Amino acid sequence: MKDDIIIVLTQNIKQVSEKKTYIDNERMIHMRKLRKKPAQKLILPIGDEMYKNSMMDPAITALAVDADKYPNAIDYVNLYLELLSVDRLSISNQAILASPYIAELKIADLEAMIKKIPDKKLQKRLKTFFNLDNTGRRHYLRTINEKDIATVQMAMDASEAQKYLTTIESMYVYSASMKDIVDKIASKVHGNADNVTKAKYAHVYYRFLSEGQFIPYYDDENSKETTHVRRDGILSDIQMENETKMVSYQSIGMLIDEWSLFFSKMPDNNLIMELIEAMLKDLDSEDEEFIRKDAQLTKEAIKFQPTYREIREHKEHIFAKGEWLVNDFMRYDSLNEMYAKDIRELCKLYRKYKENYEWESEETVQMEVVIPSKGKIMVTIPTFGMKRFFKDEFEMIAFLNLMAYLKKEDFVYHNKALAKYDFFEILGM
């Protein structure tokens, strides 16, 4: 038993140890709920008939609309559920078939994306491992001996190949569920781009900008008031964050969650994509690179699987002195008279800063902010004698990006609520 490794299809992130084992070690996070228990390596008894029967239940072929054209349709469906991160060990096949999040599969579309995997070796290994070549050998159901180097390597290669199929571009083609949720999220973005690109920028806003230094997926309000040391007496949050991966698009449930809890409440064409992109360009290079990889805005993102901890570190670096006021100003629905006075005060503050040519000011304010990994800390913020303030220079840069955009689009003069304010005159624009 020691030398045996069970290859398990549970729709989770696969990890290969230094000993080249292939063990499911993760559970995906759905619907804003974090795991309360440490990660457990999942080892099934050899020959577990219940598990195998679940995998080979002919009923699941109903998910494939063109199943009749493929004698091994069940293998394509099992791969499909793997790519969607569906937990086959805790969800019955009946629940899978009834789920609105798992739409019908067109095998031809999935096959087309498999053919686009650039590494032909990985492509072939994936087909062999999942019996897509219809040889009758279903390696993904086998008990594999650790000493069987060839088969272990095939499993590893198949896992690598799957990463090309879990990009948002690929899933948009073969997953009707992904296409539906991407199109919905994209409708909330104002910008000249395709829906996939719009959804990526929306994701950047939600994950990295909304709620400032806090990770928006946490459901526990106490996480905003105390350091993440221990909760429920089981596992420290820091330990959990170090080991839990947070892949942006592999779990459709995560995007569905973002839609239902955030984007669905937003007016159409609301998020200003141009300002999100401008923000990315102004960030420190390490933060920019990390966010672009996470959102799959760069080709290097294929194998990028950040942890919660890494995401937190970048958010806390960007918002080192707390959440910015101008986060709201990347949204059209925030540009109204309620915020107009704030905008005007910030215009005055920038002009005063510009006249001093120094970020530091003798006039400062001490402010208590919560940085989750540190707890409550005091920060010093220059005010230049103003009621409103920029917490740091980067917030000011984001604000200027906004004002340049509004002037270019002539937005203010077409907005009755803002037209009476002399923003650009104050700024000297």
Packing angle between helix 73-83 and helix 107-114, nearest 10 degrees? 70
Closest residue by Cα to residue 205 from 333, 98, 115: 333
Residue 63: strand, helix, or coil: helix
- Assess contact for 428 and 418: CB atoms under 8 A: no
Position 172 in a domain: no
Q: What is the DSSP string of 149-182?
A: HHHHHHHHHHHHHHHHHTSHHHHHHHBHHHHHHH
Closest residue by Cα to residue 200 from 162, 249, 245: 249
- Given this model, what pLDDT does residue 195 score? 97
Q: Which residue shows structure tokens 């984001």? A: 398
Residue 303 burial (10 A CB sphere; 0-12, 13-18, 19+): exposed
**Do 111 and 42 belong to one domain?**
yes
- Given this model, what pLDDT does residue 248 score? 65
**How many other C-beta atoms are found inside a 10 Å radius of the C-beta of residue 353?**
18
**Do 161 and 12 belong to one domain?**
yes
> Is the Cα torsion angle 51, 57, 62, 65 positive or negative in sign?
positive
Q: Per-residue confidence of the chain (429 residues) as pLDDT tens digits?
A: 333 333 333 333 233 222 222 222 222 333 223 333 333 333 333 346 666 777 888 999 999 999 999 999 999 999 999 888 787 777 888 888 888 778 889 999 999 999 999 999 999 999 999 999 999 899 988 877 788 898 889 999 998 999 899 889 999 999 888 899 999 999 999 999 999 999 999 999 999 998 888 888 754 444 444 444 333 333 345 566 676 776 666 667 778 888 988 999 999 999 999 999 999 999 999 999 999 999 999 876 676 878 888 888 999 999 999 888 767 788 988 887 767 888 888 888 888 888 776 778 888 899 998 888 888 899 999 888 888 888 888 888 888 898 889 888 888 777 777 778 888 888 888
DSSP state of 254: H
Q: Give 300's Cβ-side CA count (13 Å radius).
A: 5
Of 281, 298, 318, which marks where a domain is finished? 318
- Given this model, what pLDDT does residue 50 score? 67
Q: How far apart are CA 139 and CA 4, in angstroms?
A: 14
- Given this model, what pLDDT does residue 218 score? 57
**Do 273 and 232 belong to one domain?**
yes
- Assess contact for 401 and 275: CB atoms under 8 A: yes
- Assess contact for 135 and 80: CB atoms under 8 A: no
- Given this model, what pLDDT does residue 321 score? 92
**Do 298 and 191 belong to one domain?**
yes
**Do 159 and 16 belong to one domain?**
yes
Closest residue by Cα to residue 319 from 373, 240, 366: 373
**Do 100 and 36 belong to one domain?**
yes
Position 11 in a domain: yes
Chain centroid, CA 169 distance in Å? 14
385: left (phi over 0), alpha (psi -120 to 50) or beta: left
**Do 342 and 312 belong to one domain?**
no
Position 420 in a domain: yes
Beta bridge mates, 190 = 272
Position 170 in a domain: no
Domain tally for the chain?
A: 3
Residue 53: strand, helix, or coil: helix
- Assess contact for 81 and 102: CB atoms under 8 A: yes
Position 150 in a domain: yes
**Do 40 and 140 belong to one domain?**
yes
Position 324 in a domain: no
Residue 304 burial (10 A CB sphere; 0-12, 13-18, 19+): middle
Q: How far apart are CA 386 and CA 29, in angstroms?
A: 44
Q: How far apart are CA 49 and CA 423, in angstroms?
A: 70
- Helix, strand, coil shares of the chain as percentages rounded to 5? 50, 10, 40
Position 171 in a domain: no
Range of the domain at 119: 4-165
**Do 160 and 186 belong to one domain?**
no
- Assess contact for 240 and 305: CB atoms under 8 A: no
Cβ-Cβ contacts under 8 Å for 32 (sequence gap 6 or more): 217, 218, 219, 257, 261
Residue 46: strand, helix, or coil: coil
Position 27 in a domain: yes
Q: Which residue shows structure tokens 């960007």? A: 318
Residue 220 burial (10 A CB sphere; 0-12, 13-18, 19+): middle
**Do 306 and 337 belong to one domain?**
no
- Number of H helices and E strands in the chain, helices first, is 18, 8
Of 318, 344, 359, which marks where a domain is finished? 318
**Do 296 and 341 belong to one domain?**
no
**Do 18 and 129 belong to one domain?**
yes
Closest residue by Cα to residue 103 from 72, 65, 130: 65
